[in-house]
Structure 1
Amino acid sequence: MHWSAAGAPGPAAPRVPVVLVHGYNADPGVWGALREDLKAAGYADSELFSWGYDTHRSVNEVLAGQLGAYAEQVRRQTGAARVDIVAHSLGSLVARWYVSFGGGAATVNHLVSLAGPNHGTSTAWACALWDQACRDMTPGSYVVKSLAGGDETPGAVKYATFWSNCDEVINPDASVPLAGAVNTPVGCLKHNDLLGDDATSAGICAFLAS
Structure 2
Amino acid sequence: MLTPRQPVLALLALCLALLAPFPAQAADRTPHWSAAGAPGPAAPRVPVVLVHGYNADPGVWGALREDLKAAGYADSELFSWGYDTHRSVNEVLAGQLGAYAEQVRRQTGAARVDIVAHSFGSLVARWYVSFGGGAATVNHLVSLAGPNHGTSTAWACALWDQACRDMTPGSYVVRSLAGGDETPGAVKYATFWSNCDEVINPDASVPLAGAVNTPVGCLKHNDLLGDDATSAGVRAFLAS
- TM-score where L is the length of structure 2: 0.84
Alpha-carbon separation, structure 2, partners of 1:36 and 1:193: 16
- The 3-state SS of whatever aligns with 2:116 is strand
Q: Deviations over 1:65-113 (max 9, x none)?
A: 0000000000000000000000000000000000000000000000000
Of the structure 1 ranges 168-177 and 5-14, higher mean CA displacement relative to structure 2 is found in: 5-14
Alpha-carbon separation, structure 2, partners of 1:140 and 1:43: 39
Q: Does the C-alpha gap of structure 1 residues 5 and 188 become closer, same or farther in structure 2, counting only changes over 3 Å?
A: closer
Alpha-carbon separation, structure 2, partners of 1:194 and 1:3: 28
Q: Does the C-alpha gap of structure 1 residues 10 and 153 become closer, same or farther in structure 2, counting only changes over 3 Å?
A: same
Q: What is the aligned partner in structure 2 of residue 188 from structure 1? A: 218
- The 3-state SS of whatever aligns with 1:159 is strand
- Whether the 8 Å contact between 1:117 and 1:170 is mirrored in structure 2 is yes
Alpha-carbon separation, structure 1, partners of 2:141 and 2:72: 19
Q: Does the C-alpha gap of structure 1 residues 4 and 128 become closer, same or farther in structure 2, counting only changes over 3 Å?
A: closer
Alpha-carbon separation, structure 2, partners of 1:183 and 1:115: 11
- The 3-state SS of whatever aligns with 1:160 is strand
**What fraction of aligned residue pairs are identical, expressed as a percent?**
98
Alpha-carbon separation, structure 1, partners of 2:73 and 2:218: 29
Gaps of 5+ in 1: none
Superposed displacement of residue 4, structure 1: 21
Alpha-carbon separation, structure 1, partners of 2:77 and 2:199: 30
- Whether the 8 Å contact between 1:85 and 1:111 is mirrored in structure 2 is yes
Count residues in correspondence. 209
Q: Does the C-alpha gap of structure 1 residues 4 and 109 become closer, same or farther in structure 2, counting only changes over 3 Å?
A: farther
Q: Does the C-alpha gap of structure 1 residues 9 and 50 become closer, same or farther in structure 2, counting only changes over 3 Å?
A: closer
- The 3-state SS of whatever aligns with 1:206 is helix
Alpha-carbon separation, structure 1, partners of 2:196 and 2:49: 27
Q: Does the C-alpha gap of structure 1 residues 128 and 151 become closer, same or farther in structure 2, counting only changes over 3 Å?
A: same
- Whether the 8 Å contact between 1:186 and 1:200 is mirrored in structure 2 is yes
Q: Does the C-alpha gap of structure 1 residues 144 and 5 become closer, same or farther in structure 2, counting only changes over 3 Å?
A: same
Q: Does the C-alpha gap of structure 1 residues 11 and 98 become closer, same or farther in structure 2, counting only changes over 3 Å?
A: same
Alpha-carbon separation, structure 1, partners of 2:163 and 2:111: 30
Alpha-carbon separation, structure 2, partners of 1:165 and 1:5: 44
CA RMSD of aligned residues (A): 3.1
Q: Deviations over 1:119-152 (max 9, x none)?
A: 0000000000000000000000000000000000
- Whether the 8 Å contact between 1:164 and 1:189 is mirrored in structure 2 is yes
Superposed displacement of residue 3, structure 1: 19
Superposed displacement of residue 13, structure 1: 1.4
Superposed displacement of residue 6, structure 1: 18
- TM-score where L is the length of structure 1: 0.96
Structure with bigger gyration radius: 2
Superposed displacement of residue 12, structure 1: 2.2
Q: What is the aligned partner in structure 2 of residue 105 from structure 1? A: 135
- The 3-state SS of whatever aligns with 1:31 is helix
Please show how residues 84-123 of structure 1 align to structure 2 within 5 Å. Answer: 84-123=114-153
Alpha-carbon separation, structure 2, partners of 1:73 and 1:90: 22
- Whether the 8 Å contact between 1:3 and 1:10 is mirrored in structure 2 is no
Q: Does the C-alpha gap of structure 1 residues 138 and 15 become closer, same or farther in structure 2, counting only changes over 3 Å?
A: same
Q: What is the aligned partner in structure 2 of residue 50 from structure 1? A: 80
Superposed displacement of residue 11, structure 1: 3.2
Alpha-carbon separation, structure 2, partners of 1:8 and 1:60: 46
Q: Does the C-alpha gap of structure 1 residues 172 and 45 become closer, same or farther in structure 2, counting only changes over 3 Å?
A: same
Q: Does the C-alpha gap of structure 1 residues 153 and 171 become closer, same or farther in structure 2, counting only changes over 3 Å?
A: same
Q: Deviations over 1:25-78 (max 9, x none)?
A: 000000000000101111001000000000000000000000000000000000
